[in-house]
Structures are given as structure tokens and as C-alpha cells.
Amino acid sequence: MQFTPQQSAGGPKYSHKTKIGNWLEDLELEEMKVKDFSCKKEQAKLSLSKVEEKLSSLLSPAPWSCSTDGMLHFGAKIMLLNKKTNGALVFDTGDRMPGVDEAYAVTTNPKKTGPNMRTVFIVSKADPKDGYKDDIIHYGQKIFIQTNPYAFPKTLYLKSIPVSPSICAKISRQQECSVQAKASYDNVWMIWHVDPNVRFTTKSEPVPVNEPIVIEHCATAHYLASDAFEYKNDFGNELEVSVHSYATLNKSQALALEKTGKLTRDLPTKFQNDQNIWCFLSSNDPSTDYKVVEPGKMTHEDLVRIVKQKLLEKGAYGIRGLARVFKSMDENGNHKLDPDDFRWGLYNYGVTITKEEAKLVVDVCDRDKDGSVDFNEFMRFLRGDLTEERKKYIQMAYNKLDKTQDGKVTLEDIASIYDASCHPDVKTGKKKPEDVFKEFMSQWDTQVVDGIVTIDEFMDYYKDVSASIDRDDYFVEMMKSAWKLSQSFILQL
């Protein structure tokens, strides 16, 4: 039971009908949460809706190639099955791996889901000058293993990098394996015969489908593997994939070869365990290789939407904070950055894009065609334009602050009226009112540091805030509450 300080000191008690404490604030907060939930539900922004959309997309059927000659061909749509887990290699674009480059987790799924968007892969040639002129894949030939073009707007390559204190497999702590959007030597693999005794003699021979093989990572000389390490994601309980050599520990094979005089230092003598053994699965029915319309390539609008979403996850000041980062990097004062600086500016602010995505931005935001990014133009894409309704209420708020009507508002004027409790981040529970107020007061003097806020600076600030509010009526309600715009004051203007 709750008591007021007066009651604790011996004062009379309230009746059971009397509400005490912060009941009004609790009631308003509950109403705000309901409104926020309804808004997100209407726009399909709920976490559950996003997961359902991802599951529906990645679990939809995909074309599966049929090999008429029993051999593995470049460009064929195949599945990879692991012997130990009896699961197909799969990827999850909702499970992003830490690091500079865009990478997503891979696992094996023991459930027999058949050929779908996350189980079907394509093998492509890594070295165009390897000397092989046909489209058949050979043992020892350098290859890329990439996702099918229907699953994701960008091509993702199976990759691995050496173990480090910060990068390793999530469960086993072995060498990590994932799919990433950048093609490099970390993405290069070679297929070998499962029997080490004939691995040297079978080099350059065609690789059969539906037969056991091992896949070596060229950069580290370890083998692709999957073991019974449970990995939980949105698809359920799957099994971890890593790059690790699971070899037999006994010396019986080496002794047997020595007895027959076949042992040499150049040949491996240990068999790989089931964790390293895979099989390229091909269909037996040519009709499974049907045509599907490929998704369009990522455009600058798609990239802006993704970056904007990540910035808004940081709060209503996310876009404004990025503008400050770019401004601090602009040593020449010409509002331009080269693509690498632009990319690292985003990365320092917690947003990762690839070099190819940075090039998309250059194509759109390079007004002078000198290869640099006009970050003011990029910020304009992020913010979007203010509607006339929003401009009207921003102007009303400024007019209320500008008591002398001389177009000059001081920071003291702003501090005396602004109500931080109506800020979007406070309503959603992300921040406390006092934290928002301090952050709010630090946002001014973006153009000229003089303690005066002009209408342009005021409008510029609310362009950033406006980007985080989808509906005009929500924005108007926020402006009325934050600046105490009464109905009588609105009617006077």
C-alpha cells in the first residue's frame, strides 16, 4: 500500500477511491504506449511483423538445378548437405555478424525443408585465368560459394577469416564462417576428394554431385565444418557452421601407407571426420529448375531507407548527430567527402555500408562529378521534405519564442518554454525528460555559434526530428505539447 509523506508522519488516510502517486503520468504513459503500438502495427514495424516477413521470404521455394551428366557445373543452383548434422547449409539475413563489412550468419538446418531461398546456393569461378575452359567444376579449382540471386538484393559470398579475440564462431569459438557482400580472398574455396589417399591424383578431375567431398578454405587451409553446437535464431534451433579441421587422431593410416611405400610429405594422410564432409545435392527432376523473376538491384533509395532506419534506432537525434560527424570530418569546409571518408564516417556513427553501397551514394550525391559525396545532399535524402502542415506549426512555435518579432531567438527563450516530456524518445520510454532536455539544448548553433537561433536553424532542427515521425497528426500534437501552443494562440496567428 502507498502512503504520502503526510500520512507517514501521522496524517489522516485517503479513502479507497482516492488516487495517489503519479497516477496521471502512468495513465498517460500507458496511452502513449498503446498509440505507439497501434501506429507500428499499421505500418508493419512491429518486431513480430518483421520476423514473419523474413520467414515468409526466405522459406519460399527456390529453383533447384538438375545435373544431367552427374557433374557439378558453374552457375548450377545446388544445396550443401553436411554428413555430421544431416542438415543443409542455410543463411539468415536477419542475423548480422559484427565487423566492418556486411556479413550474416550461416548454419545447418537438419529439418528437411527442401530447396528454398536460404538453402539454395550457386558456385561461381573465383579465378577466371585458372586454365579451365569448360563450365564443369574440378577438384582443386578455386571457387566462390554464393547465395542465389532471388533471396537478397545483393550477392552474398560464403567467407571465413582467422580466429581473433573479437571474431570467432559464436558457440564453439572456432574460426567463424558467414556470408558477406564483399568478394575477397576470404571468400575463396577449393573442393577436394573425401579420401586423402587419392586427393593428389584426382586433382583437376570433375566434381560429381550427390557424392561426399570436403571444402577447403584457401586463405587458412582449414575445412568447412558443422557440428552439434546448437544455434538459436528466428528459424528455431539450428547447428553452427565454422571452419575447422576435424581429422582423425590415430596414426594407423600413416603406418599403413609407410608399409606399402606410398607415404610422402606432400600428401595428407588423415581422413576428415564427418563434421568436414559435405555433399552438393542436385535435383533428379529437371522441372525443379524453373525461372523466377530476380529482385531488382539495390538503388540509392533502398540504401537511404536502410541507413535512415538504423539512424532512427538511435533516437530522434540520430540524423542530426550524423550531420555533426560529417561536419567535423569536412576539413576544407566544402561539404564534401571522398567515398572512403564518407563510409568511415557512417561506420564511426555505428552504420556499416560496403564500398559498392558508398558508390551508389556517390552516383546520386556527386553534383560536380568529381568523385566526392556532397553530404548535405545525402542528408537531404535522409530527412525528406517537410509537409506544409508541419512547416506551419514549426513557424508557430518560433513566433511564440520570438517575442520581439525581430527574427532572433535566444537559447534562454527556448529553455524557458520547451517541455521535454513530450519528446518522441520520452514517450516511447527510450530516454528520461532531463536527458532529452540536455541533448535538446546542445543541438543548436549548428550554422553560426552566436547564441541566437534563426528561423532557418529552427526549421533545420525540426527537419531531423520530423524524419522520425511518420504521421502529421502525431507531429502536430508533439509541437503543441512541447511549445505549449494553446488553441487561443493558434487562432491569433
Closest CA to 207 of 279, 151, 159: 279
Opening angle at CA 112, ends 106 and 116, nearest 5: 60
Taking the C-alpha atoms of residue 11 and residue 14, their distance in angstroms, rounded to an integer, is: 10
The yes-or-no verdict on residue 397 having pLDDT over 60 is yes
pLDDT at 381: 74
Lowest average pLDDT, out of 133-147, 200-214, 246-260, 467-481, goes to: 246-260
The yes-or-no verdict on residue 290 having pLDDT over 50 is yes
Query: Is 320:443 a contact under the CB 8 Å cutoff?
Result: yes
Lowest average pLDDT, out of 258-262, 402-406, 419-423, 435-439, goes to: 258-262
Query: Is 217:224 a contact under the CB 8 Å cutoff?
Result: yes
Taking the C-alpha atoms of residue 104 and residue 60, their distance in angstroms, rounded to an integer, is: 19
pLDDT digits 0-9 by tens, 63-80: 999 999 999 999 999 999
Amino acid code (one letter) for 395: Q
pLDDT at 341: 80
What are the CA-CA distances from residue 150 to residues 128, 245, 446 (Å)? Answer: 24, 32, 44
Cell of 475: 507531429
pTM of the model: 0.64
- Cβ contacts of 290 within 8 Å, gap of 6 or more: 63
What are the CA-CA distances from residue 196 to residues 127, 199, 214, 252 (Å)? Answer: 24, 5, 10, 14
Percent of the chain beyond pLDDT 70?
77
Taking the C-alpha atoms of residue 64 and residue 287, their distance in angstroms, rounded to an integer, is: 9
Q: 367: how many CB neighbours lie within 10 A of its CB?
A: 12
CA atoms within 13 A on the CB side of 362: 18
Taking the C-alpha atoms of residue 351 and residue 347, their distance in angstroms, rounded to an integer, is: 5
Helix (H, G, I), strand (E, B) or coil at 424: helix
The yes-or-no verdict on residue 222 having pLDDT over 50 is yes
Query: Is 360:339 a contact under the CB 8 Å cutoff?
Result: no
Cell of 372: 566526392
Amino acid code (one letter) for 319: I
State the average pLDDT over residues 342-371. 74
Helix (H, G, I), strand (E, B) or coil at 408: coil
